[in-house]
Amino acid sequence: MKRLLLACLLGFGLSGCVLQQPSGPAGDLPPAQQPGSSAGKLPPVQQPSHPRYAPPPGVKSHWNPALGVYVVERARDLYYRERIFYRWDGGWSWSPQAGGPWKETDSSGIPPGLFRQYQNR
């Protein structure tokens, strides 16, 4: 009886190994999951808000995690993070209000993701 119980336990324990597919090299992945494949790339995720940074007051916006800022909707090159609006108009300027007045600045105070987006312009 003990042998039968032991054989059943071993059989069930090993059957899980037999049923599992071994993981193969990247060549076995569907095209969307292959390393370096552009088929699996999705457009940047847009979130309505960020858990740490409050959205800008008085304007519609969405959080862009790649840029690290809120993108102000229906406005060209206008962004917001931590009580400051950032505007690109051939150079950087900032304001505590979406409508200005604008103060010119260099790139040192611009959030890094946002700066990289405009670095070669």
What number is the average pLDDT over the span 6-18? 49
4/52 Cα distance (integer angstroms): 60
- pLDDT greater than 80 at residue 77: yes
- pLDDT greater than 90 at residue 74: yes
Whole-number percent of the chain with pLDDT over 90? 50
List all residues 6 or more positions away from 78 whose beta carbon is below 8 Å from its beta carbon: 71, 72, 85, 86, 87, 98
For the chain, the average pLDDT equals 75
92/54 Cα distance (integer angstroms): 22
What number is the average pLDDT over the span 100-105? 96
Is the pTM higher than 0.75? The answer reads no
What number is the average pLDDT over the span 8-31? 46
Residue among 115, 114, 116 at smallest CA distance from 65: 114
Q: Coil, helix or strand for 108?
A: helix
* Helices and strands in the chain, H and E counts: 2, 6
The per-residue pLDDT for 11 is 53
Q: Render pLDDT for 22-73 as a digit per residue (tens, 0 to 9).
A: 444 444 444 443 344 344 443 455 667 777 889 999 999 999 999 999 999 9
What number is the average pLDDT over the span 81-98? 96
